[in-house]
Amino acid sequence: MQKLPGDKLVFAIAGSIDTVDEAKLQAIIGLLQKISGDTDIKIVGKEKGSIRLILQGSEAGLAKLKELYESGKLTEVLGTPVEDVHFLSEETEAKSSSAELHNNQEILVQKIRSNKKDGLNLAKADLSGADLSDADLSGTDLSGTDLSGADLSGADLSDANLSGADLSGADLSDADLSDADLSDAILSDTILSGAILSGAKLRGTDILISLFSIDEVKKLASHQNINVPEVDNLLDEVEEILKISISEKYKIMFYLAMVNLYEVEEIAKITRHSYKNIHSDFNKNLGQYLKEYFYPQSQPLRFGITSLRRTVFSLDKKYFYRNNKDDLINILSNRLKENSDVNKDLKVEENIHDIHGINYPKVDNLLDEIEEDFKISKDDLINILSNRMKENSEENIHDIHGITH
C-alpha cells in the first residue's frame, strides 16, 4: 500500500498508557528517532487504555519503522514488546472495505427477500449477521457461505445446499431444513429449536457434539413420521409393567434409533456415550425390557439399537404415521409373495416366521452384514431391493432377497 502524504503511523506496544510515565514515552521516541534516522518523529496522539501512539514524521522515517517491524528487526523498545505498526490510512481503508462489504450484503438480502434469488450466486458469500428470517431459500446453493450469527428463524431452507456453511451462532428456530445438505456445516451454538430436519444430511456436522434435549428429539422424531404419543405410551407401559425406570438418555437413544438419521457412532456422540459400549448398554438398559414387554410375539426378533426401527415397525405400525419410508418393507414382502405365487417352482426360504412373510432374524443378519461390508444404510438397501424387484418382476429371482449371488 502506498503511504499517503501527511499520513501518520500507529505504533502499538504492550502495556497500558495509564502505567507508563511521560519520561519513558520520551525515551521511546528518542530511540525511534535514532533507528529511523528521523529526528522529526513525535507523538501527536495517544489512545487511552493501551500504549497506542500516533506518530508524525517524514515519509521516509515512518516507512522505515514500519519496514523494520514487518521484517522482524523491531520487536521491542526499551524492553517493551512491539505489538503492531501500520499507517493510519490502512485503518481508514479497512473501514471503507467493511462498509462496502456491508452494502453488498444488504443488496444480497434485498434480492433474496424480493424473490430474486434465482441466478444469484450465494455460495461462499458473506451473510454473517444478516436478517433472513422467514426468507425463501429453498433449493439455494449456500455451500461455504458465512451465515454466522444470521437470523434464519422461520426460513425455508428445504433442499438447500448448506455443505461447509458457517452457521455458528445462527438462529434457525422453526426453519424448514428438510432434505437440506448440512454436511460439514459449522453448527456450534446454533439455535435449532422447532427446526424441521427430516431428510437433512448432517454428516460431519458438529451438531452431533451438542446434547439434544428429549423435547428436541421428539420434535425431530415427529417430523420423521414417528407417532410420538404412541411411543411415549409404549415407554411408559414398559416402565410400569416391568417396574423399571428408563433414563432420559436411553429414551433419547430410542428416538434417535427410530428416526434412522444417524449412525450408531453419531448417536453415541449426541448422547455423550461410549461408542464401544453403546450396543451392549442399550440392550442392557432398554432392549432386553422391550423384548420382554413384547414377548412372546417378539421372541425371534431383536431390539438392538441398529435394528430397533424395523423391529418395532414389524410388530405394530401404530408407532409410525402413514407414508413412512418403512412401507418399503411391506412392498418388499408383498412383491416376494407375488413372485412366489407366479412361479410355483421358485425356491423360497423355509421357516417364515412373521406377519410379513419374511424370516426377519435371518434377513436382519443379512442386512447387518451388507451394511457393514458396503457402508450402505439398511433403508437405502431396502429401497434398492424394492426397485430391483420391480425391474425384474418378469424374470427369475434366484433367492428370497432378490439378489443373484
- pLDDT tens-place string over residues 341-362: 444 443 433 343 444 455 555 5
pTM of the model: 0.40
In the CATH hierarchy, which top-level class contains the domain 123-210? mainly beta
Of 11, 9, 92, whose CA–CA distance to 51 is shortest?
11
Half-sphere exposure of residue 385: CA atoms within 13 angstroms, side-chain side: 27
Of 246, 226, 228, 227, whose CA–CA distance to 237 is shortest?
246
Confidence of residue 53 (pLDDT cuts 50, 70, 90): confident
Residue 81 has a pLDDT of 84
| Beta carbons of 362 and 354 less than 8 angstroms apart | no
Half-sphere exposure of residue 82: CA atoms within 13 angstroms, side-chain side: 21
pLDDT at 214 over 50: yes
pLDDT at 93 over 60: no
Cell numbers standing for residue 386: 424394492
Cα 222 off chain centre by: 20
In the chain, what percentage of residues exceed pLDDT 70?
A: 67
- Bigger pLDDT: 3 vs 248: 248
| Cis, bond preceding 296 (omega within 30 deg of 0) | yes
| Count of Cβ atoms closer than 10 Å to residue 107 Cβ | 11
Lowest mean pLDDT among 21-25, 170-174, 176-180: 21-25
CATH 2.160.20.80 range(s) for the chain read 123-210
Mean pLDDT score, 23-51: 80
| Count of Cβ atoms closer than 10 Å to residue 401 Cβ | 21
Q: Does domain 9-92 have CATH number 3.30.70?
A: yes
| Beta carbons of 162 and 141 less than 8 angstroms apart | no
Residue appearing with cell numbers 495509564:
18
pLDDT at 8 over 50: yes
CATH 3.30.70 range(s) for the chain read 9-92
What is the torsional sign of CA 157, 158, 164, 167? positive
Residue 352 has a pLDDT of 38
- Bigger pLDDT: 16 vs 188: 188
| Count of Cβ atoms closer than 10 Å to residue 344 Cβ | 6
Lowest mean pLDDT among 40-54, 56-70, 89-103, 363-377: 89-103
Distance CA 205, CA 223 (A): 20
| Beta carbons of 255 and 220 less than 8 angstroms apart | yes
Whole-number mean pLDDT of the chain? Answer: 76
| Beta carbons of 15 and 52 less than 8 angstroms apart | no
